Structure 1
Amino acid sequence: MIGISAWDYVYIRTCIFLLHLIAPLSVIYSLVSCLIHPPFHVPHVLEVWLNLEAIFYLVVFLPRKIYLQTVVTHPTADRDDRRRLFLRCHSNIPDPDRYLTKWFRDAPVAEIKRENVKDFFRWAFLNTGEPDPAYDEELEEYVGEMEKLLGRKLEPGRGDAQCLRLTLDKVEMLHRSLIWYLCVFIVDTLASIYLRFYSFDFHRTSLLQFLAVFPTRLLNLFNAYRSPARALTYWYRPHTSKARLPVLFIHGIGVGLYMYIPFLADLNAQDSKDPSDGQVGIIAIEIMPISSRITPEAMLKDEMCEEVHCILKAHGWERFTLVSHSYGSVVATHLLHKPKIASKIGPILFVDPVSFLLHLPDVAYNFICRKPTNASEHLLSYFGAKDMGVAHTLFRRFIWSDNVLWKEDIQHHRVAVVLAGRDIIVDTSTVMAYLTGTDDWSLETEGWENGIWKGDDGLDVLWFQDLDHGEVFSRRGTRKRLVDIVRRFTADE
């Protein structure tokens, strides 16, 4: 994340303002130049660029924006499963008033009435937005439990409050200019050079899949390694160690693997100090729809799991260490819920995970509803949440009940969870309290040795009070602690 100084704020707001101007100025200039002879002359190169930007906005962005509004097909569950999920969520709500207020987009409490709460529960647990008398009894039960938690009765009727229902609401996205995608192309090229330098081999997809990703990735044209999966690309470092486990790494929302290169490089550097047992293999998966590119729709959980399993099988990995960051914890959750993959997962490192306590509103609210005030929040909102692929993934491919992770899901694994005290996405203090099993949701960490809480069940929680979401990868000292954890985990079995 970017800093919080006044200069950072001015810089990021200026960048956003200038990028916002490109589309309207390009369209206006192109229309004027077509209808009348412009009273001024611009250089030919600039004129071509403005025309291309206008065409891109009108022919690519606007039609795609309409297409991406298509409503998702929701999963189904029987009443017992729904009730079990509701009660599990219900027992982990530290502040019920805040819970409702944030899910209802900061609406006044007086406007959140009984029917409004039923609308929310209808989406959250019944996976629908349409009223159906068949579910009235079930909804009444849920509302009654909510009233017990609130300690008051909800006012009957319907208020003006509108709840956040990601898979039913309009997909909120903003245009990206060709200049922006040129920057992404340059960053992707630099990342590829660095990864090749650090002994990673790129595994490409077919030519058809290559043409479906914009900006174009030249690696697909000049690479001999083919991914065994249909659509999933990845970088691979061969595993030659006989005594240690390989590592599967899953990144978060951003521009792909670029920000993680120092971390991956540090993992490699550890092996060079002790080459007697060979090297620990690494598979770093690329999730293109959340990497600032125009791509096909993000894969649903079953398809993603099959693609990952195909890659693991191709490389003969029967057991591995799982490392994920941010959105990568969603994919990690899916893998943990698939028995044929879960049986291969050894120790797990979650960095800034978004999956724990996902029923709470913070992750969805901070991505979608919060009005940004500082540089980091503006960076997250414009360059992250409002990106075309990211927005569609969050609104149409993000089924929260499939993505939520509970302590019971990781109880048979050695696990470390890294949390940042100034995280602008996750309510990390609440997640920390949940993981450490305390009833005090404002748990203090001063007594933790080196900021680490060690549980009796193989769960460790690392707390970095002064870091924001993702910053643990950008600082050498904190990154070294991640590398030490991974190195210890790979040697555990």
Structure 2
Amino acid sequence: MTLSHPQDGRHVATDIAEIPYILPARSWWFYAIFLFIVIPLWSVIPIAWSFVIYVLWTGNIWLFGWNGRMCFAVAIGEVLFSLHHYRLLKSISGPPPNGTGDLAERQAGFIRVLKSGLADLAEESYDEESLDDARPGSPAEAIVQLNADDPRAVDFRERMRAWFRRSTWSSVKKRDIYAYLYWVFYNREMPPLESLAGRQRLLLDEALSYVEKRAGKAIPDEPSVGVQPVRLTIDEVNVNWRPLTWYVMALGGNWVLKHWLVSSYGVRFGCYNGLEYFVRIPESWDAVYDRRPLVFLHGLGLGMLQYKLFLSDLLRNHSDRPLLFPLQPHISQNIFHPRFLTPMPRKEMITCLVGLLQKLGWVPPSDELNDTLEFDKKPKSMSTGVVMLSHSYGSFVHSWFLKAYPHMAIRSCFVDPVAICCWEGDMCHNFIYKPCTTGSDLLMRFFVGTELGVANTLQRHFDWVSNSLWFEDIPNARDPDKTLVVLGGRDAILNAERVRRYLSTHGVSKGIYFDPNGGHGQPLIADGLGHDTITKWLRVA
């Protein structure tokens, strides 16, 4: 936001980081969803407990007919399952299991965050075909002291306050910044500042000085006023219980869909080194001359069941090319799966996925590749590859793949990519911390965001460095034939306008489809322009 100077016409940035964040009033749709959907489902477990206690206390079980005894059996199942659910919740309520990670990688990642948006770039329509600059606004920018009214400093303060639950920037104190930085670097709760080891304190002080330069203001060394930094993997896990009946219905729906896919489209299900998947390969498909295989990486929700319509569309309209759909039970509410609470980490996931692609013959064999997951190594030859399509959380896996083996993905389509600009905090704040005000927010929060497996994945296994997808990590990012990003202006999870701006200032224009009225996931479930854009783009090659 800018205001013109009344005398000389200069533009001075308004300090939007000091405008208090006011939560919108809850809509009637929120209350309707809460009363008629959330409360009934949430009430199943306390009702089951009450019924079981009443029956056991009175001994009326022997007076029931078959219907009554069936209800009692279901209630007993819900009671026992609630105890199991509570045990699972307690098992993930402690510190993150992945430890602190690579400190050097985290330091480099944070410096990258500070440099993002530091280059004074105009947002304009670049000609992707003639633009020679490989990385406008790249990490080569130096972190210098900015003035407080510099638009880059104002913008930085505004987007950084998402990590402090939208508090005004002036209310954030040094100890709040220290607590946030300690989580960024060490993935742990900060001990008393005075007890920190010398190297740790030096690291925090240096990082704080960079933040102050980037923000254009010194951080007050004053007592905290209650500002709570967002520390995703160590804050209390936000989980709402749900009944056994819900999980059984989800499992049953996916089971029915599985058999329907096998019978209707000839897909086959398999498992490669722990990575489960389904694949459809047309009998007449030729690996040399025909269109490249499509890999679809799904997002949070119900797994295959959630994408039933879109999968049907892919299988029907792309019957001449193979389709691979990796299954991720930890984000699909498959609580009965042995790896429900142990999602594959980045290296294991990519090793399995690449191994599966090699087994299928879609990418070069391992003797032509660097198997150590070093990012800048290129295979000796690349006559094959895959088209990769990801939605929402799937963009994290997509980013892992591109960072490790960028030349295997000959084309990439990102739909609602939460991996881009995830370092700005909007996704975490909107999806996990912000109170719900609309019916759609409540549906997404209750049925997806606070589900046990999803909460465990996001709040105990989230690695912001690995999950962040930068412009320079995307091969051929400015080529609209090879890279497509689909965004919705009304996305309740990611800040689609920020993502669009980040990409456009780096020279991406024709490869962005932005629907001002589009919501999260809408291009995959509706026959709108976003859906048509994805379909047409996939048909190119």
Aligned to 1:406: 470
d(CA) in 2 for partners of 1:186, 1:83: 45
Aligned to 1:188: 254
Q: CA shift at 1:438, angstroms? A: 6.8
Answer whether contact 2:48 2:76 (CA < 8 A) is retained: yes
Q: CA shift at 1:345, angstroms? A: 1.4
Query: Could you tell me which amino acid in structure 2 is paired with residue 348 of structure 1?
Result: S
Q: Secondary structure at the match of 1:453?
A: coil
Aligned to 1:10: 32
Query: Could you tell me which amino acid in structure 1 is paired with residue 38 of structure 2?
Result: I
Larger radius of gyration: 2
1:468 to 507, 511, 519: 519
Query: Could you tell me which amino acid in structure 1 is paired with residue 303 of structure 2?
Result: G
How many residues are paired up? 436
d(CA) in 2 for partners of 1:179, 1:403: 33
| Equivalent runs, 1:226-245 vs 2, <5 Å | 226-227=270-271, 229-239=272-282, 240-241=285-286, 242-245=289-292
| Equivalent runs, 1:373-384 vs 2, <5 Å | 373-384=437-448
d(CA) in 2 for partners of 1:166, 1:365: 9
Question: What TM-score do the two structures reach when normalised by structure 2?
Answer: 0.75
Q: CA shift at 1:111, angstroms? A: 4.4
Aligned to 1:426: 494
Q: CA shift at 1:197, angstroms? A: 4.6
2:416 to 352, 360, 373: 352
Aligned to 1:123: 183
Q: CA shift at 1:69, angstroms? A: 2.1
d(CA) in 2 for partners of 1:26, 1:32: 10
Aligned to 2:110: 86
Aligned to 2:382: none
Whether 2:70 is the aligned partner of 1:45: answer: yes
Aligned to 2:92: 68
Q: CA shift at 1:286, angstroms? A: 1.1
**Residues 1:176 and 1:75: Cα distance change in structure 2 (over 3 Å):** same
Per-residue deviation, residues 284-326 of structure 1 (Å, max 9, x unmatched): 1111110122132211111111221222122111111111000
Aligned to 2:214: 149
Greater CA drift, 167-176 or 328-337: 167-176
Q: Secondary structure at the match of 1:187?
A: helix
d(CA) in 1 for partners of 2:31, 2:522: 17
| Equivalent runs, 1:27-426 vs 2, <5 Å | 27-37=49-59, 43-58=68-83, 60-71=84-95, 72-79=97-104, 81-92=105-116, 95-107=155-167, 109=169, 111-130=171-190, 131-159=196-224, 160-203=226-269, 226-227=270-271, 229-239=272-282, 240-241=285-286, 242-271=289-318, 279-294=320-335, 295=337, 296=339, 297-318=342-363, 319-339=385-405, 342-412=406-476, 414-426=482-494
Question: Once superposed, what is the RMSD of the aligned Cα atoms?
Answer: 2.5
d(CA) in 1 for partners of 2:260, 2:307: 11
d(CA) in 2 for partners of 1:103, 1:7: 28
d(CA) in 1 for partners of 2:532, 2:504: 24
1:26 to 38, 48, 67: 48
d(CA) in 2 for partners of 1:374, 1:383: 14
Q: Secondary structure at the match of 2:411?
A: strand
Q: CA shift at 1:78, angstroms? A: 5.0
Gaps of 5+ in 1: 204-225, 273-278, 440-451, 455-459
d(CA) in 2 for partners of 1:121, 1:243: 50
Answer whether contact 1:356 1:404 (CA < 8 A) is retained: yes
Q: CA shift at 1:73, angstroms? A: 2.1
Query: Could you tell me which amino acid in structure 1 is paired with residue 175 of structure 2?
Result: E
Q: CA shift at 1:265, angstroms? A: 2.7
Query: Could you tell me which amino acid in structure 1 is paired with residue 531 of structure 2?
Result: R
d(CA) in 2 for partners of 1:7, 1:140: 47
Per-residue deviation, residues 28-59 of structure 1 (Å, max 9, x unmatched): 2222332344699782222221121111112x
Question: What TM-score do the two structures reach when normalised by structure 1?
Answer: 0.82
d(CA) in 2 for partners of 1:145, 1:310: 41
**Residues 1:392 and 1:33: Cα distance change in structure 2 (over 3 Å):** same
Answer whether contact 1:108 1:161 (CA < 8 A) is retained: no
Query: Could you tell me which amino acid in structure 1 is paired with residue 496 of structure 2?
Result: T
d(CA) in 1 for partners of 2:274, 2:198: 42
Aligned to 1:444: none
Per-residue deviation, residues 184-233 of structure 1 (Å, max 9, x unmatched): 13321342244235414232xxxxxxxxxxxxxxxxxxxxxx42x13222
d(CA) in 2 for partners of 1:134, 1:367: 35
**Residues 1:112 and 1:423: Cα distance change in structure 2 (over 3 Å):** same
| Percent identity of equivalent pairs | 25
d(CA) in 1 for partners of 2:267, 2:316: 17
d(CA) in 2 for partners of 1:202, 1:70: 39
Q: Secondary structure at the match of 2:326?
A: strand
Per-residue deviation, residues 384-432 of structure 1 (Å, max 9, x unmatched): 1100100000011111111100000014462111111100000010110
Gaps of 5+ in 2: 1-25, 118-151, 191-195, 364-384
Query: Could you tell me which amino acid in structure 2 is paired with residue 138 of structure 1?
Result: L
Q: CA shift at 1:5, angstroms? A: 8.7
Q: Secondary structure at the match of 1:166?
A: coil
Q: Secondary structure at the match of 1:401?
A: helix
Q: Secondary structure at the match of 1:423?
A: coil
Q: Secondary structure at the match of 1:260?
A: helix
